[in-house]
Structure 1
Amino acid sequence: MDTENKSSNFSSDIRCSPCLFEGKTNHAIKWCTECQEGLCKDCLDNHRALVSAKKHKVIPMQEYVLTLTHISPSEINTNCADHGRKLELFCPAHDEPVCTICIPEKHRHCENFIPIKEIAEHWKHTEAFQDIQNSLSDTKHNIENIISTCLENKTSLTLGKASKQQDMKALRRKVNEYLDGLEIKMLQNMEERYKDCIKEIDSSLTDIEHYKTDILKLNSEIDCMKNLTSKEKCFLGTRNIENKIIKLKRNLENRMDDMRKFEISVSFDPIFASLRTMTAALGTVQFDKLPMSMEMRDCKHRQAQIPILRPHSTQANTVLSQKQEIAVLPNVQNHLVTGCLILPNDLYLFVHRNGNSLVVQDKTGNVNSTVSISGSPYDVAILDDKHMVISYGSLAYIEVVALSNDQLTKRMPVNGHCSGICCFRGIIYVAVRQKGICTLSMGKNVNILIRCITFDVGYVAASNEKLVYTDSKHRSVHCHDLLGVELWNIMLNDMQCPRGVQIDIRGNILFCDSKSNNVTRVLSDGTGRHILLETSSGLKDPFGLHLDESRKHLLICNLSDGRAFSFNVK
């Protein structure tokens, strides 16, 4: 109510711009978003009569004032900062709005531009807008969780300090007066170390309180977006807020890397326990800095945990030694094998697109069984010890199938052409064309984790720290954390068509290139690219790539010549 009263008072102070030029001071009742000026009733009628102003948007003064009191105009600038032209299109490749001059200057190789008005028309009701609101809520929750954990650490540290002091006093009563000086010396040492720990915790709390203030401010701004009539401003404003949230979350995660949980412990010299002799010290006080591990909630991946652990070693000594060559369906012609698996029982499973089936073979190549499925499959992954999941390309759905009897358990639509699929900790990650990487789990809705509107056919793999996918159209490999934040990407001239991708035991990335006919390893930080296998190893249009659960055995399948290869990984 206070905000409305302030807006009303402020709006009554804004004068009509055309009248001011004539020396009049009439109050403005409307605001033209194109002319950026207030209009009184008479000037509003004249403005509407102008042919050049027919398409101008006029809003109530209170709505205009509301945007001023909550959001800086510079944050929702509808004009291009470089050229001054109106931002009319959105470039999916660069994830940014552009004007008509930007396209030939900076986006000449981009495609699939989308009119901003088309996006903004229903922006407030989209999943993306809801994601931003949820992200604000989740980040606020995470900040409060961190604060609570720090306060609990202070309490436990204080209680632990008191407990250890009692232990020292109990020991002190068993020795003579000579130990008084040593006790005082040790208590002073403990107090100094304790204060240092409390100081570090308070410093962390101060930083986190700043993040809380920032997130509350963004929360207020996002609430304001709901009341904006200007859909373009709403879209651009919320995009700006989303970028701020991403930056804030990154800063918060970086701050968490530096935070430690303190615990107090005391070790006494065995000599004092026996009371047989004296020593120069009563004991030692140890304050251990332990990594803080807490559940971080995120609207895009609620079951993920912020990876506090350090990155895997980026050693370059991945070595493949070939075990054997397997003939996939030797009695079948017109092979189209787009995926493969090493099953928990060490059998091999191949995705046979032309046959609408999955083929299970043993290590010698004998066909163990053929699983008939509902359509033409694209890729397959192990969900848990009882189920696997299958993607069906243009059929736009995935299916969960029981491993024991090959019976359908659940079918889930993904509303788009779905290609590569993988699973990690019960979460299903699937590449959906024109959307990006989507996540879903049993009984849950589809959520877009990584937006990539121009995303073409690709494969995906996940580990406890990262998510990687290949984009064959743009000849690139991308690495994100489990919250969808991009860590790195590579796009090289000699990389022609990356397909199947996996993450080895060191966190390094393995992917096959169906046109270059090779398998490449990239270090976990996106550097150190090295070709492990080439045509001489039998690769001809390699598509599918899979590491078993131990990540010590690799299976590769060619697309159309009916051959697959297994390797030991060291």
Structure 2
Amino acid sequence: MISMEDYRKIEDITIKMNCGMHGKKLNLYCKKHEIAVCVTCIASEHKSCSSSNVISIEEASKRAKQSAADLEQLITRTLENFKYFINNREIALENVDKDEQTIRKTIEDTRLNLNEYLNELERKLLLDLRSKHANCQSQYTKSLRQLNQKRIEKENLKEQIIKMKHSASDIQVFLGTHQCNKAISEQIGSRKKDIRFHTDTSMKLEIDPFINSFMEEVTQFGEIRVTETNVGQAKTQTHGSKQNICNISLQLKQKFYIKGCVVPITGCIILSDYRIIFADYTGSMLMEYNNKGKHIRDILVDHRPFDLAAVYSDRIVVSYGVSKYMEIINTNRENEGRM
């Protein structure tokens, strides 16, 4: 028995006191399956459960208040996580707005040095920026709306748990917390999984390197790149139109000579430590150089090497065109043997 005043505090909290399958009072508890049951459930669904696993609901609910307190703490921690990720989303939204402002200013400053020919290219780029910025805003707004809704739901549930803990009977607290605990755990697990895949979006502007000679070569004002960085991981994804290969210009970084000016080189590979290995088809050997062009050594092989490929930082695969087989070679100085 509880007072009417206490009852009014929990009358809006739905607690099932009867079995949903048989309609009878939930007066037993199966410890093996961790579920409240009626007498009919024991006879039909829990035949294999030992008598020691089936106890009265009164005995099972002795620590109900503590269970409610544990559930309250779990919800509190979840709400703290929601607050953290909401703040994270809000900061990310501010950053993408700053990116948009920075890019717009860069575009405007660059535009001052161009003539009327760039008007159409500028218009296309700004439309692209507006579209990508709108998409970023939409993603963050949707994420914030969902997070705020879940936060409100958990705050309401927390308030109900507090009311039930202070005013309801042990049985009501036990059944109430037991019935919502599993659902809450599933929701928390689902929400953690969703939060894990939240990404931060930033936008950058890449001005075309040939902007000074645009009358002859430039076909676009620039490119808006939207980079999504996973909040929990370092993985990034870049979206945007690919640069036309016709606009790519190669630049010579370094030049050095290979010993023997008429050596027929059939293969070349650059290792992770910047060593360069050439395949000398006629000399039946591999020639190793450093990134400064200094010859390090020759690695003799049994046949004429045709091509090379890296397996690890110290192992390469050598193919022999005539012999039709491949060989893995260890390139360490201490161990020059083949594997």
TM-score, normalised to structure 1, is 0.38
Which protein shows a greater Rg? 2
Query: Is 1:173 matched with 2:93?
Result: no
The one of 52, 56, 61 aligned to 1:115: 56
Change (3 A) 1:139 1:273: farther
Distance 1:193 1:113 in 2: 60
1:152 CA displacement = 0.7
**2:4 is the counterpart of 1:65:** no
Q: Work out whether residues 211 and 252 of structure 1, in 8 Å CA contact, stay in contact via their aligned partners in 2.
A: no
User: What is the distance in 2 between the residues matched to 1:274 and 1:143?
Assistant: 51
Distance in structure 2 (CA, Å) of the matches to 1:194 and 1:160: 9
Q: Aligned runs of 1:458-537 on 2, under 5 Å?
A: none
Structure 2 unaligned segments of length 5 or more: list them: 237-339
Deviations 1:167-201 (A, max 9, x none): 22232233323113211220121011101110121
- Find the counterpart in structure 1 of residue 95 from structure 2: 156
Distance 1:188 1:110 in 2: 67
Q: C-alpha separation between the residues in 1 aligned to 2:219 and 2:213?
A: 15
1:179-235 deviation per Cα after TM superposition (whole angstroms, max 9, x unaligned): 132112201210111011101211111111221121011011111112224110011
1: distance between equivalents of 2:103 and 2:209? 17
Letter in 1 for 2:173: C
Given that residues 271 and 277 in structure 1 are in contact (C-alpha distance below 8 angstroms), is that contact kept between their aligned partners in structure 2? Answer: no
1:271 matched residue in structure 2:
210
- Compare relative contact order (CA 8 Å, sep 6+) and give the higher one, 1 or 2: 2
Q: CA–CA distance in 2 between the matches of 1:255 and 1:178? A: 47
Identity %: 24
Does residue 184 in structure 1 map to residue 123 in structure 2?
Answer: yes
Q: Secondary structure at the match of 2:116?
A: coil
Kept after mapping to 1: 8 A contact 2:10/2:168: no
CA gap 1:273/1:148 in 2 versus in 1, 3 angstroms? farther
1:197 maps to: 136
Matched, 1:93 2:40: no
RMSD: 2.4
Return the offset for 1:133: 0.8
Whose helix fraction is larger, Structure 1's or Structure 2's? 2
Q: Deviations over 1:357-398 (max 9, x none)?
A: xxxxxxxxxxxxxxxxxxxxxxxxxxxxxxxxxxxxxxxxxx
Alpha carbons of 1:229 and 1:109: their partners in 2 closer, same or farther (altered >3 Å)? same
Higher strand share: 1
Amino acid at match of 1:193: K
Q: Hey, what does 2:72 align to over in structure 1?
A: 133
Give yes or no for contact 1:267–1:284 (8 Å, CA) kept in 2.
Answer: yes
State the 1:92 CA deviation.
2.5
Structure 1: gaps (5+ residues): 1-57, 295-307, 310-570
Decide which of 105, 130, 140 is 2:44's aligned counterpart: 105
Contact persistence 1:89–1:113 (CA under 8 A): yes
Q: How does 1:300-319 map to 2 (within 5 A)?
A: none
Q: Distance in 2 between matches of 1:172 and 1:225?
A: 65
Q: Secondary structure at the match of 2:10?
A: helix
Question: What count of residue pairs does the alignment treat as equivalent?
Answer: 233
Matches of 2:197 and 2:232, distance apart in 1: 12
Distance apart, 1:105 and its partner CA: 0.6
Q: Indicate if the aligned counterparts of 2:202 and 2:226 stay in contact, CA closer than 8 A.
A: yes
Contact 2:203 2:225 in 1 (8 A): yes
- Structure 1 residues 273 and 87: CA distance shift in structure 2, 3 A: farther
Quickly say closer, same or farther: Cα 1:62–1:117, change in 2 above 3 A: same
For 1:134 and 1:176, the matched residues in 2 are separated by: 64
How far 1:257 sits from its partner (Å)?
A: 5.2
